[in-house]
Amino acid sequence: MRIVICGAGHVGSFAAEALASAQHSITVIDLDPERVRDIGDRLDVAALQGDCAQAATLEEAGVRKADLFLAATERDEVNMLSASIAKGMGARKTVARVRLGAFYDDRRFGYARHLGIDRLICPEYATSEQIAHILRNPAAIAIESFANWKIELQEFEVAERAPALGKPLADVAFPDGARLVAVRRDGKVAAPSGGTVVQPGDQVVLVGERDVMPRAVRLFGQAGAHTRDIAIMGGGPMAAWLCRALRDRAFRIRLFEPDATSQETFRGEYLGKADVFVAITDDDENNILGGAWAKSQGVKQAIAVVQRPIYLHLLEHVGIDLAFSPRVAAMREITQLLDDSPVLALSSLSRGVLDVYRVRLGAHSPAAGLPLREQKVPDGFIIAAVQHGVDASVPGGESVIHAGDTLLVVGPHKRSAALVAFAGT
């Protein structure tokens, strides 16, 4: 594929390296001549100095024939403008990286739709959501998301005193917008019915709309968990999003900016007794040292955010329990956008027995125009969620599925071929 990348900073250079290694033809644009020289020397890419918000620069970069245009400078406005221009000039798909929540939140105004951009990505938002998912659901075996985090999917073991135990699922007061899609018992996985009775020790797979999911999880989880003490080091956008994602839940959050690792702060704030320490500043080394220091002082769990993925496999050796990289989060979104196949396996569940699939419905899909209750899904597969435009939901029996919708489907491992005819073209 021909790919044009605007910006040779953290995200742009990482994307260029990853995509060039996958044998794509890459052109990188940046205003800084030193960055242009550096990336041209390090990678097998074409490097161009210029302003990517100007049509003449994009023309020189070959954007008219580009399969993908990625705008990843440090300025949101430049990224959105250049992606919009690139789309108008003929780029097949355009992606703009943004940092400001006001641009990314399509509930306020659909900037991407208004400007003709195929996708806005926000690596900082995606990273904060990944961390929030882990903190909200510490017992989860696996967690997946769909439609920009509007839908959550979780696998976890049913607690011994869960409210849903000992009664048929038809009698369980399940909240609208959530459903149970699989039950694993004695090594076997089955789709539940209204007569299914969940037992202690079962592993269940739940899917739900983000605001509904906590109520659904409580039906199968342990009630009455204690308030968890979360200490966050850093005051940038990621910290703000993380605090927002954890509001109205059983958390006591303390935010420290710029540094929480001094002896005086640790002793004065009793940080050694915190359940979780999250190091989320803009400095990788500071986050690594802060997380390692916190763990050595008695914090139960340490989480660090690092930009450079090269650090990820090293952090467990210094006591950090979990690490996340915004660059990796960005590349995951870009890679999924590049994949034009109608069916894509996103992740595996239940020890490799089940897969989570993304299915894009074509104009000739047999599913188009029918309500969920009339859908003839291949045996063993369940439609877990539907994205229609920017809206996403867990469908009910009367929910109609349309051509152009994207589905989240759960089904047998490595059986994507069975879904191709269902997806249509």
CA distance 327 to 364: 37
Residues in Cβ contact with 394 at an 8 Å cutoff, skipping those fewer than 6 apart:
151, 177, 178, 179, 207, 208, 209, 212, 384, 385, 386
CA distance 15 to 18: 5
Residues in Cβ contact with 101 at an 8 Å cutoff, skipping those fewer than 6 apart:
122, 125, 237, 240, 241
Residues in Cβ contact with 16 at an 8 Å cutoff, skipping those fewer than 6 apart:
5, 8, 26, 28, 39, 43, 45
Largest Cα span, the chain: 68
Helix (H) or strand (E) holding 42, with range, is helix 33-42
401: tokens are: 């599925």
pLDDT, position 187:
85
State the Cα torsion 266-270-274-278 to the nearest 10°: -30
State pTM to two decimals. 0.83
pLDDT, position 261:
65
Set out the domains of the chain in order of their start, with CATH numbers: 2-121 (3.40.50.720), 126-220 (3.30.70.1450), 228-331 (3.40.50.720), 335-423 (3.30.70.1450)
Residues in the chain with pLDDT values less than 70: 106-107, 222-225, 248-249, 258-262
* Integer CA distances (angstroms), 164 to 179, 199, 216, 217, 218, in order: 13, 9, 10, 10, 9
pLDDT, position 279:
93
Are 121 and 97 in contact by the 8 Å Cβ rule? The answer is yes
* CA geometry: angle 237, 243, 247, nearest 5 deg: 145
Q: b/e for 200-219, b at 16 or more Cβ within 10 A?
A: eebbbbbbbbbebbbebbbb
pLDDT, position 259:
67
**Sole residue written with tokens 């400095």:** 283
pLDDT, position 18:
92
How are the residues of the chain apportioned to helix, strand and coil, as percentages rounded to the nearest 5?
35, 30, 35
C-alpha radius of gyration, the chain, whole number: 23
Instruction: Note the pLDDT tens digit of each residue in 256-277.
Output: 876 666 677 777 777 788 899 9
CA distance 180 to 192: 7
Of residues 11, 3, 7, the one with CA closest to residue 329: 11
**Sole residue written with tokens 């955010």:** 305
pLDDT, position 198:
94
